[in-house]
């Protein structure tokens, strides 16, 4: 590195940046490519001015002009071909321009002020167009002033005092002003360069952040897709835990339907044929929704399958399920349930409820439906010896039907935020007793769906219809 640059950098007058010198050279080359051909284009006009102002020396000046133009063009072509640097091209332009003008000013005593102003204009042009550090301009302007003094002090020329008073002092002052202009322009260009670099870095940072966010978004989407696939598998597993519908024996027909609020849910029903031919029917509603509730339904199914063959009443089945849930569940979740034992001979049905909503009983001969109120407590929160569950005996005649359902149906709302309610539930169930069991279920679900006006229920929903055959 040149000692001058080191000194300037220590003084803070030369920017320190890895890419600044390349950027400065690039901008200088761009300005030289404009300024050097422009100067060449102006020279014919100067030659015409020379003819009128100094006709005695016109031929000499014309030869000088031609040599100057040739030298500038050669420097410009070499710079364009990258054979010389932009700074070398600028020096060729400056020395050619200042030398020719200084000699012309010395020959033009009648028009010395005009050519002195021309030299000042050349100083100003170099200050504006030659993009380099002010140290180069100081060297160039010093050379230009030296040539000006040498040519003016030739034998028969002016004295030093005359030169100073008639243009020399002006040129000296103006050259210093031009160097200051160069420094100001250099500072502005440096600030623009730094700002542009910061903008580029900011854009790259934003692009990296954008790419990172895009990667995160894609990762989240992949995880969501994987979770959705796993939930679909879980839904299939939970659906496979339910008995196939419609279910039919010699004495009974059963039709069931289940719709979780999410992919999986906490409602569950099961049917188990006991060794004596009786049917044990269970309907469970686990608190909460989604995966936690669905996991508890697996526990309930296992407990029901193990306890039902060993119990003689519906209440005993619920107490056994409660004890298993109480010993297993360590969270605040609980469940409500209803259990039926349908005798194989079609006699009295045993019904027990663990804080579940009442079952609906339709008596065919009476032609009306009513709720069957039973007493019981929630399951899974207390040990069975502290739990009170009572059985209810129901005489079920031929063509009578029982409806078991979870509160998701009763508590559903429509677009006007109205609750479905018990009265509408009884009315829609009762309106369809006259059709077969499967159509009865389908008609009720269509009526319930039409009332909701496409608004999805916020809770899991289950429905079981049981009919004693004629």
What CATH number corresponds to the domain at position 440? 3.60.40.10
310 — pLDDT class (breaks 50, 70, 90): very high
- 408 and 457 housed in the same domain: yes
Is the confidence at residue 30, as pLDDT, over 80? no
With a pLDDT cut of 70, the percent of the chain lying above it is: 66
Give the percent of the chain with pLDDT over 90: 28
In a domain, 88, yes or no: yes
Distance (Å, whole) CA 428 – CA 440: 10
pLDDT at 227: 84
Residues 93-108 have a mean pLDDT of: 65
Which are the contacts of 299, defined by CB distance < 8 A and separation ≥ 6? 324, 325, 328, 329
Judgement on whether residues 38 and 99 belong to the same structural domain of the protein: yes
List of E strands, 139-266: 247-248, 252-259
pLDDT value of position 157: 57
According to the model, what pLDDT value does residue 12 have? 43
Question: What CA–CA distances, in Å, run from 397 to 247, 361, 467?
Answer: 19, 11, 9
Provide the H-helix boundaries in 308-349: 314-328
Q: 187 and 254: one domain?
A: no
Same domain, 124 and 259: no
Residue 8 has pLDDT above 60, yes or no: no
13 pLDDT above the threshold of 50? no
Instruction: Report the distance separating Cα 416 and Cα 251, nearest Å.
Output: 43
Instruction: From 154, 177, 207, give the residue that closes a domain.
Output: 207
Note whether 297 and 266 are within 8 A (CB). yes
Q: Is residue 228 in a domain? A: no
Global pTM reads 0.59
Once rounded to an integer, what is the mean pLDDT over residues 38-65? Answer: 69
- Worst-scoring range by mean pLDDT, 26-40, 116-130, 222-236, 271-285? 116-130
Inside any domain, residue 9: no
Residue 239 lies in a domain: no
Same domain, 344 and 454: yes
- Provide the pLDDT for residue 191: 76
Q: Contacts from 429-438 at CB under 8 Å and sequence distance 24+? A: 429/360, 429/362, 429/369, 429/403, 430/362, 430/368, 430/369, 433/362, 433/364, 433/367, 433/369, 433/401, 437/246, 437/253, 437/254, 437/255, 437/401, 437/465, 437/467, 438/246, 438/255
Residue 280 shares a structural domain with residue 176: no
Residue-level pLDDT at 62: 72
- In a shared domain, residues 432 and 286: yes
Residue 114 included in any domain: yes
Q: In the structure encoding, which two tokens stand for residue 395, read together?
A: 């005489």
User: What pLDDT does 152 receive?
Assistant: 62
Neighbours of 42 (CB within 10 A): 11
Question: Could you tell me if 272 and 149 lie in one domain?
Answer: no
User: Mean pLDDT of all residues in the chain?
Assistant: 79
- 255, two tokens: 């039709």
Q: How far apart are the first and last CA of the chain?
A: 110
Q: Tell me if 465 sits within 8 A of 283, measured CB to CB.
A: no
Final residue before a domain boundary, out of 207, 233, 256: 207
Q: Is 59 helix (H, G, I), strand (E, B) or coil?
A: helix
| pLDDT given at position 87 | 66
The pLDDT tens digits for 269-282 are 999 999 999 999 99
| Residue with more model confidence, 363 or 117 | 363
Question: Would you state the pLDDT for residue 437?
Answer: 93
Whether 232 maps to a domain, the answer reads no
Q: So what's the pLDDT on residue 11?
A: 42
> What is the pLDDT confidence band of residue 111, given thresholds at 50, 70 and 90?
very low
The larger pLDDT score, comparing residue 104 to residue 3, is at 104
pLDDT digits (tens, 9 = 90+) for 190-206: 777 778 788 888 888 88
182 and 275 both lie in a single domain? no
**pLDDT score of 358:** 92
In 7-78, which ranges are E strands? Answer: none
Higher-confidence position of 33 and 435: 435
- Banded pLDDT at 258 (limits 50, 70, 90): very high
Q: Is the pLDDT of residue 115 over 60?
A: no
Domain count, the chain: 2
190 and 268 both lie in a single domain:
no
Is residue 90 reached through a cis peptide bond, with omega within 30 degrees of 0 on the bond before it? Answer: no
pLDDT one-digit tens code per residue, 395-414:
988 889 999 999 999 999 98
160 & 48 share domain? yes
Q: Residue 7 — very low, low, confident or very high, per pLDDT cuts 50/70/90?
A: low
Please state at what angle helix 58-80 crosses helix 86-107, rounded to 10 degrees: 170
CA distance 94 to 80: 17
In a domain, 223, yes or no: no
Q: Distance between CA atoms of 449 and 428, rounded to whole angstroms?
A: 11
Contacts of residue 133, defined as CB under 8 A and 6 or more positions apart, other chains included, come to 5, 8, 14, 24, 186
441 within a domain of the structure (yes/no) = yes
Q: What is the pLDDT of residues 333-371, one digit of tens each?
A: 899 999 999 999 878 999 999 999 999 998 888 888 888
Task: Give the structural domain span for 383.
Answer: 245-468
* Residue scoring higher pLDDT (144 or 165): 144
DSSP letter assigned to residue 243:
P
pLDDT digits (tens, 9 = 90+) for 411-461: 999 888 899 988 888 888 888 888 899 999 999 999 999 998 878 888 999
Co-location of 339 and 389 in the same domain: yes
Q: Among the three residues 180, 207, 234, which one is the final residue of a domain in this structure?
A: 207
């Amino acid at each position: 590195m040149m000692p001058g640059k080191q000194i300037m950098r220590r003084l803070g007058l030369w920017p320190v940046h890895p890419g600044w010198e390349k950027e400065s050279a690039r901008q200088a080359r761009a300005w030289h490519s404009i300024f050097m051909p422009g100067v060449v284009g102006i020279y014919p006009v100067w030659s015409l001015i020379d003819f009128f102002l100094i006709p005695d020396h016109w031929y000499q000046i014309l030869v000088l002009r031609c040599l100057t133009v040739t030298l500038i063009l050669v420097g410009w072509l070499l710079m364009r071909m990258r054979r010389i640097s932009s700074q070398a091209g600028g020096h060729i332009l400056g020395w050619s321009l200042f030398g020719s003008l200084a000699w012309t000013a010395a020959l033009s005593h009648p028009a010395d002020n005009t050519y002195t102003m021309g030299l000042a204009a050349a100083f100003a042009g170099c200050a504006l167009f030659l993009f380099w550090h002010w140290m180069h301009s100081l060297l160039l302007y010093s050379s230009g002033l030296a040539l000006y003094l040498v040519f003016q002090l030739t034998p028969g020329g002016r004295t030093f005092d005359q030169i100073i008073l008639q243009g020399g002092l002006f040129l000296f002052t103006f050259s210093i002003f031009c160097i200051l202009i160069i420094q100001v322009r250099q500072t502005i260009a440096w600030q623009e360069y730094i700002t542009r670099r910061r903008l580029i870095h900011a854009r790259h940072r934003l692009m990296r952040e954008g790419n990172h966010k895009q990667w995160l978004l894609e990762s989240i989407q992949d995880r969501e897709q994987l979770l959705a696939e796993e939930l679909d598998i879980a839904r299939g597993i939970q659906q496979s835990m339910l008995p196939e519908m419609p279910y039919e024996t010699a004495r009974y027909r059963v039709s069931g339907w289940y719709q979780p609020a999410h992919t999986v849910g906490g409602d569950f029903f099961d049917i188990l044929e006991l060794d004596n031919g009786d049917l044990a029917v269970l309907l469970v509603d686990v608190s909460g929704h989604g995966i936690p509730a669905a996991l508890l339904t697996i526990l309930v199914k296992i407990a029901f399958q193990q306890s039902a063959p060993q119990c003689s009443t519906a209440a005993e089945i619920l107490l056994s399920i409660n004890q298993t849930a109480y010993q297993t569940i360590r969270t605040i979740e609980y469940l409500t349930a209803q259990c039926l034992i349908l005798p194989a001979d079609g006699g009295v049905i045993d019904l027990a409820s663990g804080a579940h909503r009442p079952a609906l009983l339709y008596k065919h001969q009476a032609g009306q439906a009513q709720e069957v109120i039973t007493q019981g407590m929630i399951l899974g929160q207390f040990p069975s010896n502290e739990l009170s569950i009572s059985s209810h005996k129901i005489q079920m005649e031929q063509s009578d039907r029982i409806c078991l359902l979870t509160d998701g149906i009763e508590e559903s709302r429509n677009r006007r935020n109205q609750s479905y309610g018990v009265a509408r539930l009884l009315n829609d169930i009762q309106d369809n007793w006259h059709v077969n069991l499967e159509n009865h279920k389908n008609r009720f679900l269509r009526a319930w769906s039409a009332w909701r006006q496409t608004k999805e229920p916020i809770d899991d929903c289950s429905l079981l219809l049981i009919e004693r055959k004629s």
